[in-house]
Structure 1
Amino acid sequence: MILVNSRRWQQFEPLVAALSPDLGRYFRASMRCWCGLEVRPYPLADWHVWIAEDDGRPVGVTGLYREVGAPETLGWIGWFGVLPEMRGSGFGTSILQLTEERAVGLGLDCIQVYTDTGAEGASGFYLSNGYSERRGPGQIGRQRSASAASMVLSKRLL
C-alpha cells in the first residue's frame, strides 16, 4: 500500500464517481479544486490529497489539511474513503496508518476528523483506530454548517 501524490483529474475521476455517494456533494468539487480545475471557496494553510494504491491499482483516497489561524500542529483528515468493493479487507486501516505517518512527517501532533453520528461505519472505524470523540466547547473548524448530528473525533499522534 502506498499513497500517491497526484493532481491529475483523470486519476481522481473514477474514485470521485465511486466515493461521491458516501462522501457527499462537496467531494467532487473539492477534488476538482485539488486538481486545479476549480478555485477553493476559502483558503487553507496547508492541504494534501493522496490516492491510495495497492499493487498499482487505486483503492481509496485520503487527505490532510490545516486551517488558516489554527495551531500549526493541528490537522484534519479530509475526504477519507475506500472503494466500496475493497471495504472490510483492511485497506481502510492501512490507509489511515499511512495518513497518520504523513501527518507526523508534516509536523502535526494531533489530527481530527469530522463525521456525522449517523455514519456509524465511519465513526466506529475511527474509534476502533484510537480516535476519541472530542467533547466540550471549542471551534470544530470550518464545519460551521454542521448539523446537530455532527461529531469530531481526535487522535494525538505524538
Structure 2
Amino acid sequence: MAYGPARVLPGEQIRITTNPDTEPFWQAAKEHKLTACQCGECGRFRMPPTAVCPDCGSREKNWPALPGTATVFSYVVCNKNPKTGEDYVYVPVVVDLDGAPGARLNANVTGCDAEEVRIGMKVAVEWTPIQDDWVLPNFRKA
C-alpha cells in the first residue's frame, strides 16, 4: 500500500505536561538542544527520565547535550489523525539516541515517504512547536 509522505502531527494538537524529572529535557528542547537523562553516579542513560537510577539508586542527574542524530529502533505507519480522525499519514518511531547508549525516545519521522521508514534508518532531529510554547523533537530521514 502506498501511503505517501510521512508528516508530523500538527503542533496545535499536541500538549505536554512536565514534572521535576522531565523539565530539563523540555527546557533544552525549547532551545533546540537534544539531551537525555544520565545518572550522575553510574553514568547510565535513561529515557524517559526517572527520579531514581534503576541501576544504582542515585537521585543525581546530568543532562548532556547530544548530537541530534539517532537510529530507528521501531516504527508503525498510521493513516488517521488520532485527534480528528482525518486521513493523515504519520510514522511514530522509537529511536536509539546517538551519544546516549540505552536511551530511547518516542517521536515522529518525516523527510521521506512512510514506506521508506526502516528499522536501522539514520535520522536527525528537527523541532516542532507545540502548545504552550513548548517544542517537540521529531526526526527527519538523514
TM-score band, normalised by shorter chain: under 0.3
Task: Name which structure has the greater RCO, CA cutoff 8 Å, separation 6+.
Answer: 2
Structure with the higher strand share, 1 or 2: 2
Larger radius of gyration: 2
TM-score when scaled to structure 2?
A: 0.27
Structure with the higher helix share, 1 or 2: 1
